Amino acid sequence: RKEVEQDPGPFNVPEGATVAFNCTYSNSASQSFFWYRQDCRKEPKLLMSVYSSGNEDGRFTAQLNRASQYISLLIRDSKLSDSATYLCAVNDTNAGKSTFGDGTTLTVKP
Amino acid sequence: DTAVSQTPKYLVTQMGNDKSIKCEQNLGHDTMYWYKQDSKKFLKIMFSYNNKELIINETVPNRFSPKSPDKAHLNLHINSLELGDSAVYFCASSFSGGIVNEQFFGPGTRLTVL
């Protein structure tokens, strides 16, 4: 079993749709969680950190469920510019590393 | 101001050659990483250095040798390149203090081995 498993996708949605990605992790010692966005032929860039209480940044909402060991990302009112690959990352501070999911590709169509 | 920079951006070379990729960060971070992203886009950690000390080596062949001359630099030397080494290599950095340790990535080096 992979340490971090992510919805494989791809997700193809129309503009304005709401889409959700999930990511499960196996290391219960994980302490911090992130969503990254990666555009084609570019580097991953931090989209948002995920906090225990859940957090929102505009159209993006991230949730963490420690009991079930999963994180989620909700995108509301999808824009064409949201088309990208979304990677979840789970950080074990004691081990000094982040483990990334394999990414979920989102395509938003007009 | 580029936070994490890598050179070269593209590298095309023959099997059996030796090549190096350089990485520098100006964020004042104390931890640096090398990742490999293959053709299926899976991002896998290779090495991690904290304050110039190797802390993670994820079963990478010993043809790959990282070197960290100081906290701001982490270079990757690859000996006897193989076809399977073709990938995009990303350098990243983070600050190890605290709980939230988001990583900042360089633009990547696209390596093609012929």
| A85/A105 Cα distance (integer angstroms) | 4
**pLDDT by residue (tens digit) across A27-74?**
888 888 999 999 999 999 999 999 888 899 999 999 999 999 999 999
Q: Is B100 on the interface with A (CB under 8 A)?
A: yes
Question: What amino acid is encoded at A13 in this protein?
Answer: V
Q: How, if at all, do strands B87-94 and B31-37 pair?
A: antiparallel
Q: How far is CA B14 from the centre of its chain?
A: 20
Contacts of A87 in chain B (CB under 8 A): 43
pLDDT band, very low/low/confident/very high, at B35 (cuts 50, 70, 90)? very high
**pLDDT by residue (tens digit) across B54-75?**
888 787 899 999 999 999 999 9
Determine the pLDDT at residue B100. 65
| B38/B7 Cα distance (integer angstroms) | 19
Mutate to test the interface with B, among A43, A46, A86 (most CBs of B within 10 A): A43
- Among A25-34, A84-93, A94-103, B94-103, whose mean pLDDT is lowest? B94-103
Is A95 in contact with B56 (Cβ distance < 8 A)? yes
| B17/B90 Cα distance (integer angstroms) | 20
